[in-house]
Amino acid sequence: MGPSTPHRTTSHSRGAHMPSKKIAFIGLGIMGRPMAANLVKAGHQVTGYNRSRPAVDALVEAGGRAADSVADAVRGAEVVITMLPADPEVTEVVTGEDGVLAHAAEGTLLIDMSTITPQTSLAVQETAAPRGVRTLDAPVSGGEAGAVEGVLSIMVGGDAEDVAEARPVLEALGTTIVHVGPHGAGQTVKAANQLIVASNIQALAEAVVFLERSGVDLASALDVLGGGLAGSTVLNRKRANILNRDFKPGFRIDLHHKDMGIVTDAARAVGAPLPVGALVAQLVASARSNGDGGLDHSALLRGVQRLAGTDEK
């Protein structure tokens, strides 16, 4: 859909009155692919690049344009969005020899939406600033479903005027967009988010094994738990995974392992104790060691089953 096409009556019409932007989108995985498609729906000109080609072809089918390299994607872009797995990929794609900063025009706004360490976000900002490229760290929460539905929570670190400029673009991706502080603060809040989510899933998984071993009907139990103080977005979003023992990702345990490392490091740096978080980090690591790294993080349930000696269904 081109920028002048008037078909903007979907839930993604929030940014419709805003001028269309030329956006380079790098990293079209589980999250990046639907996010880039939502930007197209909101009327932006989106050029996508991904290490493997099928993801780029999917964006073209959704109305975006294909790029063969980072340089190709970034050429002519006003906004560059990165949605990559972890720190090494962001560092390489942004500051590498043939990366975003080598090709972006002065004045470009770079929005990194990956979950990485606050330190790497700051390093990216320090490398970008002398080249006239403004940066924001804008990691997200809400999972694949949140990305598909365009209802992500987006925690943004950076300068207020850049956040204001980014807001119409981010509104095509999420419904809760909060400027939480200076560069790196978005990643700090995301680290806290990941601590809460992993601890929540672990507690839910322990409750599930306890309920099943007690002979209580799990679906009924989750119904009533969901309506009380134990209810949570985790319970709503992961209920089907748990009931069906369907652990297709979603959010891979490998990525949550990375995030538990980020939050434990960041907390140690400021002297904040995370006793439950440290334990949950070990359980996430154990899930990986048992071969579950590629599964959705709701598969922490499998780890509790192993501890309980329960046959996996």
Applying CB under 6 A, the residues found at the interface with ligand NAD are 26-32, 49-52, 55, 83-86, 89, 92-93, 114-115, 140-141, 143-144, 250-251, 255
> HSE-up of 284 (CA within 13 Å, CB side)?
30
**Smallest distance from the beta carbon of 211 to ligand NAD, in angstroms?**
26
d(CA 284, CA 89): 22
* Residue keyed to tokens 């434990």: 264
Which residue, judged by CB position, is nearest to ligand NAD in the bound state? 29
Beta-sheet pairing, 174-181 with 140-141:
unpaired
Residue 82: strand, helix, or coil: strand
Q: Could you say which of 21, 22, 41, 190 is catalytic?
A: 190
Distance CA 266, CA 162 (A): 25
Shortest Å distance, C-beta 117 to ligand NAD: 11
Q: Can 190 be counted among the known catalytic residues?
A: yes
Tokens of 99: 């990366």
Nearer to ligand NAD, 12 or 297 (CB): 297
DSSP one-letter code for 188: H
Q: Minimum distance from CB of 292 to ligand NAD (Å)? A: 15
Contact 187, 116 (CB under 8 A): yes
- Closer CB to ligand NAD, residue 26 or residue 185? 26
Question: Least distance (Å) from ligand NAD to the CB of residue 66?
Answer: 13
> Would you say 92 or 159 has its CB closer to ligand NAD?
92
User: 232: which 2 tokens?
Assistant: 């949570």
Residue number with CB closer to ligand NAD (108 or 115): 115
Q: Which residues are catalytic?
A: 190
